[in-house]
Structure 1
Amino acid sequence: MLIPKGALVVSCQARADNPLHGPIFMSAMARAAAAGGAQGFRANGAEDVAAIRAISTLPIIGISKVWDDRFPVYITPDFDSASRIAAAGADIIALDATPRPRNGEPVDRLIARIRNELKREVFADVSTLEEGKAASAHGASYIATTLSGYTDETAATKADGPDLDLLSALVAAVSTPVIAEGRFDTPDLVAAAFERGAHAVVVGTAITNPREITKKFVHATQRRAV
């Protein structure tokens, strides 16, 4: 088990339109997160994964976002994308484990190939209890609530904050370690996740995206001014 129980994992990602986009900035972000006590990272793309691996021995959850307008699944949709981030130094490969259409292998086959051919643990991003149970049965090493609120079926829950109910349901239903991820933007919510039985919690924007953090403060200021 690479991710320790009770760990805070920091997602170090920045899209192309973000001023912090790029491996230099993400490796610095990871270094800062580790100094603050993070016990692992989530990173996108071979370049960022390699840059973080160069400065840390902490576990890296690697993803490869492959955008294709024909398919809703873009988080590590196929074996080739998984292979690239494994070669770059990712210890764990995260993938979209929903049953939605993808340009790649079915989830069960992809999980098996990552474990058997790449010798990596698999971090299954799900949006529902049934998806989590299926990913566990397919051999995923971790089940994460990452996609709750980001699929058509669960979109209505996004405004309600983290899906703590899904977290509790998964903890009760599977023996696989359950990771809380998605909209955990305060220490109190992280604490609530651990109280619900989370093995670990992944936090991204609230720690590593100063642009969005600034927007949140500015929005609150403007509302108060009115």
Structure 2
Amino acid sequence: MIPTADALSNGLIVSVQAPLGSPMRDPDVIASMAEASLRNGAVGVRLESPEHIGAVRRRCPEALIIGLWKCTFPDSSVYITPGWREIQEVWSAGADVIALDATERVRPGGQLLADLIQRARQELRAPLMADVDSVQNGLTAAALGCDWIGTTLYGYTETTSNRTPPGLELLPDLRRGLDPLVRLICEGGIASPGAARSALDAGADNVVVGTAITGIDLQVSAYCRGLIA
């Protein structure tokens, strides 16, 4: 069950993920990091893959879980929960909210975003988080029925590749254009408590932080490169 808006207000959501090939990419390790995050004040966690979602659900049965599944296909650059199969698997694994790419890019197999959102709402009654890269894509996703809008893909799509996250500049316009009941999430590139505060001040309801908290592989690599420079 999703907590009330008051319980979520201004809260931190920790993205607990690990790259392919990392020893951190183990369900028990992911579940431990998720539990530690929740114990220390996070209002929820964002998890990748049905396996990790299931592991955290078993260990932290009351946790708010935003779930996704990164899958790549040769005919599309969309990889965050790109199709109906992935949506079903994420929901079946125990997610409370399903995160999916809601940019205007062509999806694998020509699946349409509007059809996927409608089907998820009608057949699964699943709350959806739209990962977007622009104000217009965020407003469109909300109009199609997404309950949460996140700036997750700002700087990571072909049309925003020259931009650097976090997408703070999107937040004021999104907040003005969205229904107050739609949660606005700032995700991507938040590297300090100060940056997280700036996101809330710019209009976000919640902030997702990943690499800066749980990204051991990338953090250690960055420190090592810095010591050599």
TM beyond 0.5:
yes
Residue 14 of structure 1 aligns to which amino acid in structure 2?
A: A
CA distance in 2, matches of 1:128, 1:13: 24
Among 191, 205, 208, which residue is 1:202 paired with?
208
CA root-mean-square deviation: 1.4
For 1:41-97, what per-residue CA distance to the aligned partner results, in whole angstroms no more than 9, with x for missing partners?
Answer: 111111100000011112101101111122101111111111111111001000000
Q: Which residue number in structure 2 is paired with residue 43 of structure 1? A: 47
Q: Indicate the SS of the match to 2:28.
A: helix
Q: Which residue number in structure 1 is paired with residue 136 of structure 2? A: 130
Q: Which moves more between the two structures, 144-153 or 68-77?
A: 68-77
Q: Indicate the SS of the match to 1:80.
A: helix
Post-superposition offset of 1:220: 3.3
Identical amino acids, percent of aligned pairs: 36
Q: Which residue number in structure 2 is paired with residue 52 of structure 1? A: 56
For 1:186-223, what per-residue CA distance to the aligned partner results, in whole angstroms no more than 9, with x for missing partners?
Answer: 11100001111111011111111112112232333334
CA distance in 2, matches of 1:46, 1:35: 22
CA distance in 2, matches of 1:5, 1:135: 22
- Determine if the alignment matches structure 1 residue 82 to structure 2 residue 87: yes
- Determine if the alignment matches structure 1 residue 179 to structure 2 residue 160: no
For 1:5-56, what per-residue CA distance to the aligned partner results, in whole angstroms no more than 9, with x for missing partners?
Answer: 2110011111222120121111011011112211101111111000000111
Among 206, 209, 212, which residue is 2:218 paired with?
212
TM-score (norm 2): 0.92
Residue 84 of structure 1 aligns to which amino acid in structure 2?
A: E
Residue 218 of structure 2 aligns to which amino acid in structure 1?
A: E
Residue 59 of structure 1 aligns to which amino acid in structure 2?
A: L
Matched residue pairs, number?
Answer: 221
Residue 98 of structure 1 aligns to which amino acid in structure 2?
A: T
- Determine if the alignment matches structure 1 residue 103 to structure 2 residue 114: no
- Determine if the alignment matches structure 1 residue 168 to structure 2 residue 168: no
Q: Which residue number in structure 2 is paired with residue 145 of structure 1? A: 151
Q: Which residue number in structure 2 is paired with residue 68 of structure 1? A: 73
CA distance in 1, matches of 2:42, 2:114: 31
Structure 1 runs (4+) deviating above 2 angstroms are 215-223
For 1:72-126, what per-residue CA distance to the aligned partner results, in whole angstroms no more than 9, with x for missing partners?
Answer: 0111111111111111100100000011111153111111111221121000000
Residue 32 of structure 2 aligns to which amino acid in structure 1?
A: A
Residue 203 of structure 1 aligns to which amino acid in structure 2?
A: V
Among 7, 15, 20, which residue is 2:19 paired with?
15
CA distance in 2, matches of 1:153, 1:165: 16
TM-score (norm 1): 0.93
Residue 147 of structure 1 aligns to which amino acid in structure 2?
A: L
For structure 1, the residue ranges without an aligned partner over 5 or more in a row are none
